[in-house]
Amino acid sequence: MKDLSNYRKSYEKSELLENSISENPIGLFSKWFQEAEDIGGSEEINAMTISTIGLDGFPKNRVVLLKQFTSEGFVFFTNYKSEKGKAIAENPNVCLSFFWHNSERQVIIKGIAEKTSEQISNDYFYSRPIGSQLGAIASHQSEVISGREVLENKIASLEKEFEGQEIIRPEYWGGYIVKPSEIEFWQGRQNRLHDRIRYQLHEGIWKIERLSS
């Protein structure tokens, strides 16, 4: 047995009090994101877990990269025919979460995922290096393949096919925007008395409540 019962950390870096928060959670998210960036020491602070309810009835989490956020929501890019894409098509309710260990903070977002506009998908697709564009075309994400060489051979043949030609974004690859209905901010504190502030959207107004740790 590997006993982890001594793994313990006292969270002491900050606090989250009602008098320091904005009426809109995107304002607070933006502040926390900036602070996680400024503090440094955490790589890929835009890495977030997205959980979906799969066609098999099970929740599934995986990491994707947040590429934009606005007052509308949180945008990531993926293959629409992947396992998550199929799950979202059936049930668009998703949950995102971030853990920023450098600021001892967690953010959990419940919301509805919708495909972004073609414009947003195109803008991002064409901003990526050619290798990533071809990778997006080559990979039928989440399908079973017989070996790594399937992907490598596909890339090699696409490189030939598209040599000197414009690459077109495949219709099965693009963005989702997660429009939030609930956002919880968790700030680690001493003695497990963590701060938890939850925003819930009711008829266009964000209700703010503190949750027990």
Ligand X SMILES: Cc1cc2nc3c(=O)[nH]c(=O)nc-3n(C[C@H](O)[C@H](O)[C@H](O)COP(=O)(O)O)c2cc1C
Told to check if 141 binds ligand X by CB under 6 A, we report yes
Identify residues 21-80 at the interface with ligand X (CB under 6 A).
Answer: 44, 47, 60, 62-65, 76-79
Of 62, 192, 196, 210, the active-site residue reads: 192
DSSP letters, 4-57, are: -TT------S----GGG--SSHHHHHHHHHHHHHHH---S-TTEEEEEEE-TTS
Closer to ligand X by CB, 64 or 167: give it: 64
Least spacing, CB of residue 67 vs ligand X, in Å: 7
Distance CA 213, CA 192 (A): 7
**3-state secondary structure labels for all residues of 68-121:** EECCCCEEEEEECCCHHHHHHHHCCEEEEEEEECCCCEEEEEEEEEEECCHHHH
Nearer to ligand X, 14 or 93 (CB): 93
Q: Which is nearer to ligand X, 83 or 182 (CB)?
A: 83
Q: To the nearest whole angstrom, how small is the minimum distance from the Cβ of residue 105 to ligand X? A: 18
We find the least distance from the C-beta atom of residue 140 to ligand X, in angstroms, to be 11
Name 81's Cβ contacts closer than 8 Å, sequence gap at least 6: 140, 141, 142, 172
Q: How many residues bind ligand X (CB under 6 A)?
A: 16
Based on the residue annotation, tell me whether 192 is a catalytic residue of this protein.
Answer: yes
Residues within the interface to ligand X (CB under 6 A) = 44, 47, 60, 62-65, 76-79, 82-84, 141-142
Catalytic residue numbers read: 192
